Amino acid sequence: MYVLREKIKWRARRGLLELDLFFTRFIANDLDALSEPELENLLDLLTCDDHELWAMLSGKEECEVPHWQSTVALLKRSAPDIANTSL
């Protein structure tokens, strides 16, 4: 699981400041608590482009991929103040 966490840390480095803030906090506070399937879903979610990912995390768009929905909800709960930020 160490390798998965390191891949997530690398892919979580984003071009949008809001996403960087979001993932910096999430990684510091919540990443170690995730199970291997949750880590795999997060790694898969991180394949989205920045604007699509931010739209899901900020609540502007619903996540349409069923296996990502719980991951998006978890991320939103981890940093609600950042999720309410608009671009």
Q: Is residue 33 part of a domain?
A: yes
Range of the domain at 28: 2-79
Question: Residue 84 falls within a domain, yes or no?
Answer: no
Interatomic CA distance for residues 14 and 32, integer angstroms:
20
Note the pLDDT of residue 84: 56
85 within domain boundaries: no
Within-domain flag for 86: no
14-38 confidence digits (pLDDT tens): 999 989 888 998 999 999 999 999 9
pLDDT of amino acid 36: 96
Residue 82 confidence (pLDDT): 62
**What is the pLDDT, as a whole number, of residue 21?**
86
Residue spans of the chain under pLDDT 70: 80-87
pLDDT at 33: 94
Residue 71 lies in a domain: yes
Number of domains in the chain: 1
CATH number at residue 47: 1.10.150.250
Please give the model's pTM, rounded to 2 decimal places.
0.87
Residue 66 within any structural domain of the chain: yes
